[in-house]
Chains A and B, each alone.
Chain A
Amino acid sequence: MLGLPSNLAYVGVLVFVLVGSLWLEVALRTHVFARLPRLLLVLAVVIWPFLLWDAYAIGQGHWFFDTDRITGIYLPGDIPLDELLFFLIIPIASILTLEAVRSVRGWPVGDGSDEDQAKVSQP
């Protein structure tokens, strides 16, 4: 695909996700990376249940990977490194999307920010 090594196919899809979402940080001033401690805390928590689920599903054979299309680097539990990257990038893209919607529409999410509470208190 596109002349790249085939074992970068999985990572290539993740690059597509990043390209599709990171521009929001600039164009919509989502300020997600400006709130890095909060972002890193989310990532540090959210990956665990999904890594456990992944390890179980791989062990049970629920899903499996074309070994020609992943990096070939594995974590404990036979989890491809590509999967860990997925569990980091999808939450980042999700939060960027939420903050992009907030940037444009200003809808409250109840995160305690002054701007948010001003919206909540409005009739």
Chain B
Amino acid sequence: MTYTQIAVLSVLIVVVFDLFVLRTRMVTRKAFWVSYAIIAFFQLITNGMFTGFGIVKYDGDAIIGSGSPAVGAPPIFGDGRIAFAPVEDLMFGFSLVLLSISLWVMFGRWGISRTPVSGPPIWRRRATTRTKD
């Protein structure tokens, strides 16, 4: 199979795990999609570094676009690439992020380290603890 085929399959498998196997249903939750939007933005930056600096290179037969050039950076946009990286990397990243978050929620549901819950941010006062000043 090509990277393109495996990447599409991985997204489908992880979404099925999220919805029907682990039953965490993260893809139905606002908290997940807002988090993913933040993560995807930073993925474009970090993946751009991996691929733009030529740390990781790709075989043109395995992806939608052309293979990475032997010398120099691939196109920033176009030829199947977004911010230097093959579009397949976005699917790879989505699978890794969704499976990680789905497992995190599942283990919480199992009662493993449910607490301490997150928050509040340091700029908000805790509701219960109030220091004198």
Contact = CB atoms under 8 A, between A and B. Distances in A.
Interface of A: 1, 9-10, 13, 16-17, 20, 26-32, 34-39, 41-42, 45-46, 49-50, 53, 56-57, 60-66, 69-70, 87, 90-91, 93-95, 97-113, 115-116
B8 interface: no
B113 A63 contact: no
11 contacts: A13-B46, A20-B42, A37-B113, A45-B103, A65-B55, A91-B100, A94-B39, A97-B38, A98-B101, A102-B118, A109-B32
A94 B97 contact: yes
Interface of B: 2-3, 6, 10, 24-26, 29-32, 34-35, 38-39, 42, 46, 49-50, 53-59, 62-63, 93, 96-97, 99-101, 103-105, 107-109, 111-122
A54 B42 CA distance: 22
Contacts of A109: 24, 26, 29, 31-32, 105, 108
Contacts of B35: 94, 97-98, 100-101
Nearest to B99: A46
B59 A35 contact: no
A64 B57 contact: yes
* Top 3 A-B pairs, shortest CB-CB distance: A111-B108, A35-B113, A103-B119
A69 B118 contact: no
